[in-house]
């Protein structure tokens, strides 16, 4: 995989900021990114093997990606 394009990364950043704002914060936390990641990256993922339930498989792959990313400790 190649990862997100620069435009995809900007979209992820902007949507994460909007998510934080909607929750009353002026800063982004890791959960903001995790919540919006499927909306930014979902249509950019391409599975090698087509399955009957492609959406479910994409969600599984995205959850595996997100769970593999370590959240930094603050403080």
Q: What is the pLDDT of residues 57-74, one digit of tens each?
A: 777 888 888 888 787 777
Residues in the chain: 75
At 32 the pLDDT is 93
Give the DSSP letter string of 1-47.
-----HHHHHHHHHHHHHHHHHTT-SS--HHHHHHHHHHHHGGG---
Q: What is the pTM of this model?
A: 0.71
**Domain residue spans in the chain?**
6-68
CATH assignment of 6-68, among 1.10.3470, 2.60.40, 1.10.8, 1.20.1050 = 1.10.8
Instruction: Quick: pLDDT tens for 25-54.
Output: 999 999 899 899 888 887 777 667 676 677
């Amino acid at each position: 995989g190649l990862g997100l394009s620069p435009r995809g990364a900007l979209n992820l950043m902007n949507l994460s900021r909007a998510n934080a704002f909607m929750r009353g914060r002026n800063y982004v936390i890791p959960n903001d990114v995790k919540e919006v990641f499927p909306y930014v990256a979902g249509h950019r993922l391409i599975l090698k093997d087509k399955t009957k339930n492609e959406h479910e498989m994409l969600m599984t792959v995205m959850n595996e990606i997100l769970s593999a990313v370590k959240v930094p400790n603050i403080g």
